Amino acid sequence: MSTITFAPRRLSTALADTVDVTTRNLRSLFRTPQALIFATVQPVIFVLLFRYAFGGAIRVPGVNYVDYLMPGVFAQSVAFGAIGTAVGLSTDLRSGILVRFRTLPMARIAVLAGRTTADLARNLAVVAVMTGVGFAVGFRSSTGPDGLLAALGLVIAFAYAVSWVFVAIGLRVSDPEAAQAMGVPIIFLLVFTSSAFVPLQSMPGWLQAIGAHQPVNALATAERALTVGGPAARDVLISLAWSGGILLVFAALSARVYARMSR
C-alpha cells in the first residue's frame, strides 16, 4: 500500500508547495503594484499608437486594422510580460531566498512552478485589461465570444510556456538588470519580425521567411483565424505545438539547472 500511495503523496506535496510559493510571489507583486501597472501601460500605448497614429497608413485587405491589430497586441503583451519572470527570479537569486528554499523540505520544482504560476496570474490580469482596451478602441470578434475566448486561451497557453524560457534565463543571471537586458532583444525581434502589427507580405522576402516560422507569428495568426474568421484548425495546432514544445524543453532545462544549483 505504501508503494501505491507514494507517488500521489509526492504529487500532492509538490502541488501544495507550488501553491505556497505562488502565494508568496503574488504577495510580492501586490506590494509593488507599479510592476503590474507598467506591464499594462506599455501594451496600451502600442494599441493607441498603432490604432490612431500609424493605423491610417497600414492597410490590411478585408480586415479592419483594429481587428488585425489586437491579436498582435495580445501576443506582444504576454511576450514582453514574460521578461518579468526572469527579473523576479534573478532578484530572488541575488537576495538569497532561493538558497533558503533549497534548505527547506519542499519539492524543488515548486520554486519554479510557483514563479511561473504567479506570473501567469499577472498575465491574466494584463490580458483582461487589454481586452477591455481593445473593445474601447473598436475591436470586435467576428466569430463571437467563443472565438475570442479560444484565442485568449491560446494567448494564456503561450504566456505560460514562454515564461519558462525566462525561468532558464533568470536562473543563469543573478542580476535583474542583466536578465532584463538579455530578454528584451529576444522578444523585440520575435514580435517585430512577426505579423503582430503589419502583414508579413509588407516585409522583404528574407525577413518573411524568418517571421513566418516563429512562435509569436504562429500565435498571432491563430488568434486572427479564431476572431476574424476562416479556417482555424491548422493555425491553432501550430500555435499549440509551439507552446507545448517550448514548455517541455524549457521546463526540463530549468528544472535541470535548478537541480544542479541545489547540490
Note down pLDDT in tens along the chain; length 263 residues. 444 444 566 777 778 888 888 888 888 877 777 767 777 788 888 888 888 887 777 888 888 999 999 999 999 999 998 998 898 888 888 888 877 887 777 777 888 999 999 999 989 989 999 999 999 999 999 999 999 999 999 999 999 999 999 999 998 887 888 888 888 999 999 999 999 999 999 899 999 999 999 999 999 999 999 999 888 999 999 999 999 999 999 999 999 988 887 55
- The pLDDT of residue 2 is 40
Domain assignments of the chain as residue spans, ordered by start: 12-260
CB atoms within 10 A of CB 235: 20
CA Rg value for the chain: 19
Sign of CA dihedral 59, 60, 65, 71: negative
Query: What's the CA gap between 135 and 147, in Å, rounded?
Result: 15
- The pLDDT of residue 138 is 93
Q: What angle do CA 234, 252, 217 make, to 5 degrees?
A: 30
